[in-house]
Amino acid sequence: MYVSMKDMLLHAHHNNYAVMAINCVNMEQAKAIIQSADEEKSAVIINISPRQMKAHGHGEIMAPMIKNMAEKVPVPVAFNLDHGASFEDITDAMKFGFSSVMIDSSSFEFEENVRRTQQIASLAHGMGLSCEAELGHVGQAAADDNSNVDLYTNVKQAKEFVERTKCDCLAIAIGTAHGAYPKGMVPKLDFDRLRELKTELNMPLVLHGGSGAGEENIKKAVACGINKINVCTDLFRHATNATIEAVKENPMIDYMDLCIEAQNAMKDFIKSYMRVIGSSGQYSFKKDNGPELD
């Protein structure tokens, strides 16, 4: 099922679990993600950023391909523009057939973030798409942004932001960052702030920088109200490691077999992450009827 993020995230919000949002730049990754969701009876979100589209799968090609694959499985699959920044990137994604867009104006001051998000949320809703926004700023692990409390989401502002923009879900900054943390380092998350945000906003909340955040942190974040977790670095790492191992074992390995090795490693990782965040088994199906929520 090809759907927007709206209903799947509301289901996660009402049933206290989170859905994975996985960055994907080609067909093999899309296959690994959709097959994992299907086998786990889980919803899933496929993310791609404007930067990833420039170098890899362009949205114009990715959207119809993902829609086609998603329509062959009974579980809900959304295709979301990750970190949409310019108006043009976002309206292009809408034209290409994405089912959801993120407007990331988190580097602008509050009023400008509200203005930009309002505009995109209203356009998205008019087309039946969902809209994710960000308040506070989730930066880069390499710059230690995760420990910069000044970047964390302000609870009072968040309430006003959501009321004025009508975004469907909100990415919040509580101590994670994008990319790999220094070796052996696990970030410290501000769970009190997360609990407060959940109580005040009572809506689906998003955690960016899901890689390397530590299983205990992830489980606790879900228990405290996170409903969408973005994962990129760890998935790509699993694909790279599996590729290296396969070539080491057999330097003459066929390229197609190499792709399958990477695909299987990504599936193992995705399926175990889905179990950790509670999305596995949330969707069951009657034989010849449509989907049935548990």
With CB under 6 A as the contact rule, the residue among 153, 230, 263, 282 that binds ligand 13P is 230
Which of the stretches 150-158, 188-196, 204-212, 276-284 binds ligand 13P when contact is defined by CB under 6 A?
204-212
Q: Is 217 in the site for ligand 13P (CB under 6 A)?
A: no
- Coil, helix or strand at residue 176: coil
- Cα angle 38-42-44, degrees, rounded to a multiple of 5: 90
Q: Is 282 in the site for ligand 13P (CB under 6 A)?
A: no
38 catalytically annotated: no
CA distance 207 to 196: 15
Sequence letter at residue 110: F
Q: Is 104 in the site for ligand 13P (CB under 6 A)?
A: no
Site for ligand 13P in 10-69 (CB under 6 A): 23
**The tokens 């299987």 sit on which residue?**
264
Set 7, 38, 82, 144: catalytic member: 82
Sequence letter at residue 117: T
| Minimum distance from residue 48 beta carbon to ligand 13P (Å) | 10
| Minimum distance from residue 22 beta carbon to ligand 13P (Å) | 9
**DSSP for 58-98?**
-HHHHHHHHHHHHTTSSS-EEEEEEEE-SHHHHHHHHHHT-
With CB under 6 A as the contact rule, the residue among 6, 178, 238, 271 that binds ligand 13P is 178
Residues with Cβ < 8 Å from 183, sequence gap 6 or more? none
| Residues making contact with ligand 13P (CB under 6 A) | 23, 82-83, 178-179, 208-211, 230-234
Catalytic residues: 82
